[in-house]
Amino acid sequence: MSKTIVIDGKVIPFEDGQTIIQAATAAGVYIPHLCHNPKFTPHGSCKLCTVKVNGRNCSACTFPASEGQNITNISEELNDDREKITQMLFVEGNHFCPSCEKTGNCNLQAVAYHLGMTDNHFPHFFENREVDASHPDVMIDHNRCIFCTLCVRASQQEDGKNVFAISGRGIEKRLVVNSPSGLLRDSDLDVNDCAAHICPTGAILIKRTGYNVPIGQRIFDHAHIDTVALAAEGASHDE
Amino acid sequence: MTNKKVKVATVSLAGCFGCHMSFLDLDERLVELVEHVQFDRSPLTDIEHCSPDCDIGLIEGGVCNSENVHVLREFRKNCKTLVAVGACAINGGLPAMRNHISLEDCLNEAYRDGIGVENAQIPSDVELPLLLDKVHPIHEVVKIDYFLPGCPPSADVFWKFLTDLLAGHEPSLPYELVHFD
């Protein structure tokens, strides 16, 4: 008899060492997330995957599954919190979807759709952030960075490099590039690196590919992020 | 539904009228709509000010100058339900992409240093509304009741939203109709 947790009344098996989100994904239960990717060490920073475990809020991507957990994933309260978090991400950066080539393929946007978000609620920061288009094949638009660190982790754990890091704290934090000039062109990032393709928003883009797939035929134009994420991430858990 | 027609006012602030054009994409459904709806202040009617008893106000565009703020406040005062229509009303949109450039630099680039500008001068006629230093979404100025995302929202979005409201339902948009682009 395998060990089980309960998510929204559904009994879900888990193995020792699995986090709640890993067990949930393997069982076909979607927990909203942005900074989590099953390939990499969990970061626990976006807080979208916050669930109630026996009445206490925990990040499902970092919290280990264990026997006796009664977990709430979908509730009005949790989804309201998730919507507010997503709105804060939208107002902190400069996310103008109509002029972003990632639109329709963007996880941030798709999570917002999933949560029924139609406005940004908070006053916008309209901060001045830079664009680094120095690399021949890859560009960074810092306006759209949500500091999920997926590129940092992908570079270290998948590419065996150390191209990206987060510098500064709190509202001062920024994605930085590990090169003498601070420019992407002088780093050892290659267009085929995992780190160049992992960005969940339009912050890191491959040049000259933005409109290969027309708007209207993109991933989230017709498919919900829960289905897409479970199909992609459920498979990688089974490996 | 009572026989009294619902009064709808519309305006484009710092927008491109694309949302209004999309609204007109309702095409023959407009005929059905005007059986239940009477247009008040709107570019479609050329009425200059809102009646005090408007039911629905549709606002396209964010606020980029003092006149936008006055108009937006007039709509809020006179419309029972105020709706932010399109990306610019919701987050400032394309006009808000000037927000990281100083107003002085924007004006200089457009009216003094731009290529091909003759008799360069910054427009300063007293009739012209003053520009705000930043373009703002309308929810930062007045309370907004509903948001219709999209650039522009499709005619189907307007149709679903308005028919829901007219039928007395809480409006809700299916997944296919919610787009930020």
Over chain A, what is the mean pLDDT?
96
In whole angstroms, what is the distance from residue A153 CA to residue A159 CA? 9
In whole angstroms, what is the distance from residue B6 CA to residue B165 CA? 10
Residues of B in contact with A94 (CB under 8 A): 97, 100
Amino acid letter at A9? G
pLDDT at A133 over 50: yes
Same domain flag for A104 and A204: yes
Which one of A100, A114, A119, A220 makes the best mutation probe of the B interface by having the most chain B beta carbons within 10 Å?
A: A119
CATH code, domain carrying A75: 3.10.20.740
Question: By 3-state DSSP, what share of chain B in percent is helix, strand and coil, each rounded to 5?
Answer: 35, 20, 45
**Contact across the interface for B148 and A118, Cβ inside 8 Å:** yes
> What is the average pLDDT across B142-167?
97
pLDDT number for residue A238: 44
> What is the average pLDDT across A163-170?
96
Same domain flag for A233 and A160: no
Residue A100, in any domain of the structure: yes
| pLDDT one-digit tens code per residue, A118-129 | 999 999 999 999
Per the structure block, which two tokens stand in for A53? 């475990």
- Give the pLDDT band (50/70/90) at residue A2: confident
**Contact across the interface for A126 and B96, Cβ inside 8 Å:** yes
Give the CA dihedral B143, B148, B150, B152, nearest 10 degrees: -100
Same domain flag for A57 and A144: no
Same domain flag for A123 and A12: no
Over chain B, what is the mean pLDDT?
96
Same domain flag for A118 and A206: yes
Same domain flag for A108 and A169: yes
Same domain flag for A232 and A215: no
Same domain flag for A134 and A214: yes
In the three-class reduction of DSSP (H, G, I as helix; E, B as strand; rest coil), residue A36 is classed as coil
Per the structure block, which two tokens stand in for B117? 């500008």
pLDDT number for residue A239: 39
Same domain flag for A18 and A35: yes
Residue A177, in any domain of the structure: yes
> What is the average pLDDT across A173-188?
97
What is the total count of domains within chain A?
A: 2
Percentage of residues of chain B with pLDDT beyond 70: 98
> What is the average pLDDT across B4-32?
97
Apex CA B93: angle with CA B179 and CA B68, to 5°? 125
> What is the average pLDDT across A88-109?
97
> What is the average pLDDT across A138-162?
98
| pLDDT one-digit tens code per residue, A216-227 | 999 999 999 999
In DSSP terms, A165 is beta-bridged to: A176
Q: What's CA B91's distance to the chain center, in Å?
A: 12
Same domain flag for A233 and A215: no
Same domain flag for A116 and A217: yes
Same domain flag for A197 and A147: yes
pLDDT at A69 over 60: yes
pLDDT at B147 over 70: yes
CATH code, domain carrying A149: 3.30.70.20
Q: Which domain holds residue A63?
A: 3-80+228-238
Neighbouring C-beta atoms of residue A178, cutoff 10 Å: 17
Residues 6+ apart with CB under 8 A from B161: B83, B146, B148, B171, B173
> What is the average pLDDT across B129-152?
97
The residue extents of the domains of chain B are 6-98+134-177
Distance of residue A133 Cα from the nearest chain B Cα, in angstroms: 18
pLDDT at A236 over 60: no
Radius of gyration (Cα) for chain B, nearest Å?
Answer: 18
> What is the average pLDDT across A42-52?
97
> What is the average pLDDT across A82-109?
97
Apex CA A96: angle with CA A92 and CA A101, to 5°? 125
Length of chain B: 181
> What is the average pLDDT across B42-46?
95
- Looking up tokens 């940004």, which residue turns up? A120
CB of B122 closer than 8 Å to CB of B112: yes
pLDDT at B61 over 90: yes
pLDDT number for residue A235: 59
Radius of gyration (Cα) for chain A, nearest Å?
Answer: 18
- Give the pLDDT band (50/70/90) at residue B4: confident
- Give the pLDDT band (50/70/90) at residue B2: low
Which stretches of chain B sit within 8 Å of chain A by CB?
A: 84, 87, 90-94, 96-97, 99-100, 134, 136-137, 139-140, 144, 146-149, 151, 173, 175-176, 178-181
Residue A86, in any domain of the structure: no
Percentage of residues of chain A with pLDDT beyond 70: 97
**Contact across the interface for B180 and A124, Cβ inside 8 Å:** no
In whole angstroms, what is the distance from residue A66 CA to residue B160 CA? 46
Stated pTM of the model: 0.95
Residue A133, in any domain of the structure: yes
Q: Which CATH class is domain B6-98+134-177?
A: alpha beta
Distance of residue A5 Cα from the nearest chain B Cα, in angstroms: 31
